[in-house]
Amino acid sequence: MKDSVKAFHELPLSRGCRLVDFEQTGIVTLWEDVHVLIITGKVLVSGVVEVQLVPYQYVEQPEYWEIEVVGGCGNRVKDALPGPSPEPMWTTAINLKGIMGTLGVEVIGASKRERIPLEKFVRLP
């Protein structure tokens, strides 16, 4: 298993995606074992509104599972126009089943990181 993980990490990196900044994070507990990470941010480039949350892959469960905020994947960014977008905000979410650390999750954007400990998870009424 470790050899296949090492081989995976030796593959070339994609140039199509970029880390993007986020403004707000939150985790909502829908049921006892269903936790959803919700992230919002501002669109920087018109036409690049698809933002994804991409969790790291681990061999063993870490204390904080790292999840990258990426945008521009599959978009023709070189043809996009700078400036305001008709939809200036984006929101994206991911189910945390199988991607939670023993202490929580860590969200990674272009210029900041935010750790969210398990005790901050919010249960919906």
pTM for the whole thing? 0.78
- Please tell me which residue, 87 or 37, carries the higher pLDDT value: 37
CA distance 8 to 110: 23
User: pLDDT-derived band of residue 1, with 50, 70 and 90 as boundaries?
Assistant: low
Rounded to 5°, the CA angle 112-19-22 comes to 50
pLDDT of residue 15: 62
Compute the average pLDDT of residues 3-18: 71
Task: Tell me the three state secondary structure of residue 96.
Answer: coil
Query: pLDDT at residue 60 above 90?
Result: yes
CA distance 35 to 28: 6
CB atoms within 10 A of CB 98: 8
Compute the average pLDDT of residues 57-71: 93
- Please tell me which residue, 123 or 56, carries the higher pLDDT value: 56
Contact criterion met (CB below 8 Å) for 74 and 50: yes
pLDDT of residue 65: 96
Contact criterion met (CB below 8 Å) for 81 and 31: no
